[in-house]
């Protein structure tokens, strides 16, 4: 739980910094945080450069606070029934230009059809005039957005219920052991992050093909296999245990402890590789860590 919370907070802080960093204007172009070029959004009455929030990081209230001029904020306002026509225009900024071109072409054709006197074609033209107007009414009717959001919310809740029925077996087990399951899943997430970092560092430090590279990657592969063996074994105990006893808890805690030790060893190796990233030779500290990881894997097998 602590790992997820820390990752969420870091992502949120980075996102808020990205959204609130003042834009840099150069040669009629706008650049956001990190020098990223921003697209220009243009409506009938407004031209603006807007940094859009990354989906899934900020809550609706945070989007309104830190990116009030964004399209995401327009969607939030419309969903809550507080949106305006200007929000709809910004969300569908290309509609006025498309419709202007459409009706110019249609009016040109209608002149030819009217003078031709073909009633069927005149009826078809009338439909072509009316149908886009119905579409415009649906798009610009701000009252429909809250109803649509409610329907989507109800549909999402039904989908969650359906998924939960198909995954009942994964929810099996004693409630008193569910805290261990959450901790294990958090450790798996943390391990995946640290494993990815250390693999990248090894590749930079010992560009393949090299014997040293193969040696380091082999120990990471072993660590990965051992880590997930411990995780799956602990989860099996959690899901299959029929009674919460000290022995059951002890077995789970031993496996979690082994998982933590593997993560710590990966982290120590990462730190040493960062410190010695530009050395031409493998340092004694790094070699010692590899030996320690080998010993740890050997000892974990005895658990």
pTM: predicted TM-score of the whole model, two decimal places: 0.43
Question: Using N-to-C axis directions, what is the helix angle for 284-300 and 211-240, rounded to 10°?
Answer: 30
Mean pLDDT estimate for the chain: 76
**pLDDT tens readout for residues 85-106:** 877 877 777 888 888 888 888 8
Name the pLDDT band for 155 (thresholds 50, 70, 90). Answer: low
Name the pLDDT band for 77 (thresholds 50, 70, 90). Answer: confident
Q: Is the pLDDT of residue 220 over 60?
A: yes
Q: Are 231 and 184 in contact (CB under 8 A)?
A: yes
Name the H helices within 117-173: 119-140, 144-166
79 CB contacts (<8 Å, ≥6 apart)? 60, 145, 146, 148, 149
Residue 270 has what pLDDT? 80
Give me the percent of the chain exceeding a pLDDT of 70.
70
**pLDDT tens readout for residues 22-54:** 767 776 676 766 667 766 666 656 666 777 888
- Arithmetic mean of pLDDT, 288-301: 64
**pLDDT tens readout for residues 236-274:** 998 888 888 889 899 999 999 999 999 988 888 888 777
User: How far apart, in whole angstroms, are the C-alpha atoms of residue 127 and residue 103?
Assistant: 13
- Selected residue with higher pLDDT from 146 and 9: 146
Q: Is the pLDDT of residue 228 over 90?
A: yes
Q: Is the pLDDT of residue 55 over 50?
A: yes
Q: Are 184 and 258 in contact (CB under 8 A)?
A: no
């Amino acid at each position: 739980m602590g790992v997820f919370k820390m990752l969420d907070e870091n992502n949120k802080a980075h996102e808020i910094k990205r959204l609130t960093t003042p834009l840099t204007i150069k040669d009629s172009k706008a650049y956001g945080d990190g020098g990223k070029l921003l697209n220009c959004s243009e409506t009938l009455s407004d031209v603006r450069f807007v940094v859009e929030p990354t989906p899934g990081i900020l809550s609706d209230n945070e989007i309104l606070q830190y990116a009030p001029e964004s399209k995401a904020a327009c969607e939030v306002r419309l969903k809550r029934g507080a949106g305006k026509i200007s929000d709809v225009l910004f969300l569908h900024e290309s509609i006025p230009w498309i419709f202007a071109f459409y009706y110019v072409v249609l009016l040109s054709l209608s002149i030819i059809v009217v003078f031709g006197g073909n009633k069927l074609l005149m009826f078809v033209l009338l439909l072509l005039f009316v149908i886009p107007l119905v579409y415009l009414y649906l798009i610009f009717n701000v009252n429909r957005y809250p109803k649509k959001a409610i329907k989507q919310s109800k549909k999402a809740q039904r989908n969650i219920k359906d998924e939960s029925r198909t995954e009942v077996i994964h929810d099996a087990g004693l409630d008193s052991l569910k805290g261990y399951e959450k901790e294990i899943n958090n450790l798996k997430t943390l391990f995946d992050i640290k494993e990815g970092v250390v693999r990248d560092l090894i590749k930079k430090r010992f560009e393949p093909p090299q014997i040293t590279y193969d040696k380091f990657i082999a120990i990471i592969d072993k660590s990965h296999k051992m880590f997930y063996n411990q995780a799956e074994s602990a989860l099996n105990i959690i899901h299959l245990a029929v009674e919460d006893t000290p022995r059951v808890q002890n077995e789970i805690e031993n496996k979690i402890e082994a998982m933590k030790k593997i993560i710590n060893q990966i982290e120590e190796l990462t730190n040493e590789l960062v410190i010695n990233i530009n050395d031409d030779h493998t340092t004694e500290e790094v070699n010692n860590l590899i030996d320690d990881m080998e010993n740890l894997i050997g000892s974990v097998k005895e658990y």
